[in-house]
Structure 1
């Protein structure tokens, strides 16, 4: 698949997510409201990644990928793992827990995303940090063919677009589950299979 085809696939997915989550009503209390807001932020970051790609702003697109994943993981952790005291602490000082610890707690609590979160942490977290904090991986993609500018390998761009689709879809599925809309949850499972099978 080329960049344009992967972009169109992500764009279509974003439209589907928007059509199926716009105005969604989340039941529950304060914890659910905070977690759902994290998922909504993740979905917004997913859309921003598509816009940045369409504008050929690949550096900013890659930098935002880590932020999308953090929004998703924070939402999952706050919803499924945080104690009441940790939830209160989040409101006052943020989350005082390492990202890896949060992913381990999520996996222990729900298990459903174990391969996704643990593999991402193991294989991609270092490069994601590098892209977000203007590390060596990010800056080496500013030179190519004798010109300074955006010189990202096609494979990097496609991988970023594909991953943003997958993580945004997980965030959207969480909203469907929180809304207790079983039909929409099933529709998300089908959409996940479809998206994963795109070449």
Structure 2
């Protein structure tokens, strides 16, 4: 039942984000546009995780979580930290920093070293890599007695759905901030707070 509740909460968040960010006016400067593109990709990945879960394609849903994380963190770093030279390199397909470096530089920039993103990376990065790159965690969940098919523990699914919801909300919050829509901030903060409460 907890997985079903977490899935419903994710679908609700995806709809809420769409309802509150569709049609907002966004700046057209290059740095903002690049970051906005990252956040939009993150939100698409968030919705894709919900769709994959509803189709019982759990392995693919779990594999998408790392991609969602990278889209969000790249957007945060490109908007808040990247130099003009680094933006130019990114436009040429080069980003010469690890995920860990992007997180550290972004958190240092906003004054929260070893913050939420660092904690998320520390607790989930190895598992996300394993699911994305067909490591043992992914492969070992393809077996049931007498057949080969997905066999994912509820905790894996619940964690992935919850993380997808939270990461997507962060991306949506960035879009609201870039759009300078202070009128949406109280609703956004209330949604973040209600989503952060444990699902029972």
TM above 0.5, one fold?
yes
State the alpha-carbon separation in 1 of the partners of residues 189 and 198 from structure 2. 15
The number of aligned residues is 199
Cα deviations by residue, 1:84-130 (Å, 9 ceiling, x for unpaired): 00000000123111111110000001145953210111111111011
- How far does the alpha carbon of each residue in 1:123-182 deviate from its partner, in whole angstroms, 9 at most, with x for none? 111110110000111100101233210100001001100000000000000000000001
1:41 aligns to what? 41
- 2:150 is paired with a residue whose SS is coil
Q: Which residue of structure 2 aligns with residue 107 of structure 1? A: 107
Query: Separation in 2 of the partners of 1:38 and 1:113?
Result: 22
Aligned to 1:152: 152
Q: Which residue of 1 aligns with 2:11?
A: 11
- Equivalences for residues 128-143 of structure 1 within 5 A: 128-143=128-143
Equivalent residue number for residue 162 of structure 2: 162
SS in 2 for 1:69: helix
Shift of 1:18: 0.3
- State the match for 2:98 in structure 1: 98
CA distance in 2, matches of 1:38, 1:114: 23
Structure 1 unmatched runs, 5+: none
- The RMSD of aligned alpha carbons is 1.3
Unmatched 5+ residue regions in structure 2?
none
- TM-score between the two structures when normalised by the length of structure 1: 0.96
2:24, 2:111 → 1: CA distance?
Answer: 25
Deviations 1:45-103 (A, max 9, x none): 00000000000000000000000000000000000000000000000123111111110
Q: Which residue of 2 aligns with 1:52?
A: 52
Which residue of structure 1 lines up, in the alignment, with residue 77 of structure 2?
A: 77
List 4+ stretches of structure 1 deviating above 4 A. Answer: none
- Report if the CA contact (8 A) 2:52-2:60 is conserved: yes
**Mapped partners of 1:63, 1:112: distance in 2:** 28
C-alpha deviation, 1:26, in angstroms: 1.2
Distance in 2 between the 1:33 and 1:180 partners?
A: 14
For residues 131 and 159 of structure 2, what CA distance do their matches in structure 1 show? Answer: 14
The range that moved more, 111-120 or 182-191, is 111-120
Aligned partner of 1:178 in structure 2 is 178
TM-superposed CA distance for 1:4, in Å, is: 1.4
